[in-house]
Structure 1
Amino acid sequence: MSKDTTNTTPTHHVYVVEGKGDTAFWTKIGAAWQHADGNGLNITLTLLPLDGRVVIRTAKAGETTRRRGRGQ
């Protein structure tokens, strides 16, 4: 039996972004986990956006589910 090395903490957050620039509205819609070989992601979405663009960002401590302005 192989050892399970799955990381339970997401390595990335998934957002839908509506608008542009400093007035863009970011809403967190899911999470992603990087593959062990670094060549892909597994993505889980809690919502499916009908509009806007989907952005995947590296997870950082203290990020909120919604934010205004550019991704940081």
Structure 2
Amino acid sequence: MTNQTASSRPTHRIYAVTKNGSKKIWRSIGALWPHSDGKGFSHKLDCLPLNGAEIVIREIDAEAEEGAR
């Protein structure tokens, strides 16, 4: 089975979110791409959180990404 993505660039980032007191710490752990048929997603994880972190998927803000470089 092959899953073709609509784009070579990911559309979403995957984060592991943990709490340190009242502060939330967001760590990027991967990316997500929609399938070209619109019926699913492919994802790539760079690491897996083992500390009970919440996994959050957020749409990439292109302007914020450019400013971070």
Query: Contact between 2:15 and 2:57, CA under 8 Å: does it hold in 1?
Result: yes
Structure-1 separation of matches of 2:17 and 2:56: 7
> How many residues are treated as equivalent by the alignment?
60
Query: Which 5+ residue runs of structure 2 have no aligned equivalent?
Result: none
In 1, the alpha carbon distance for the partners of 2:33 and 2:24 equals 25
Per-residue deviation, 1:37: 3.0
Q: Distance in 2 between matches of 1:49 and 1:33?
A: 20
TM-score normalized by the length of structure 2: 0.71
The share of aligned pairs that are identical, in percent, is 40
Mapping 1:30-49, distance limit 5 Å: 30-49=30-49
Task: Give the TM-score, by structure 1 length.
Answer: 0.69
Q: Residue 23 of structure 1 aligns with which residue?
A: 23
RMSD across aligned positions (CA): 2.3
Question: Following the alignment from structure 1 to structure 2, what is the Cα–Cα distance between the partners of residues 41 and 5?
Answer: 8
Name the structure 2 match of 1:68. Answer: none
- Alpha-carbon distance in 2 for matches of 1:42, 1:7: 11
Q: Does 1:57 align with 2:58?
A: yes
Provide structure 1 residue ranges, at least 5 long, that are not aligned to the other structure.
Answer: 65-72
Structure 1 or 2: more helix by fraction? 2
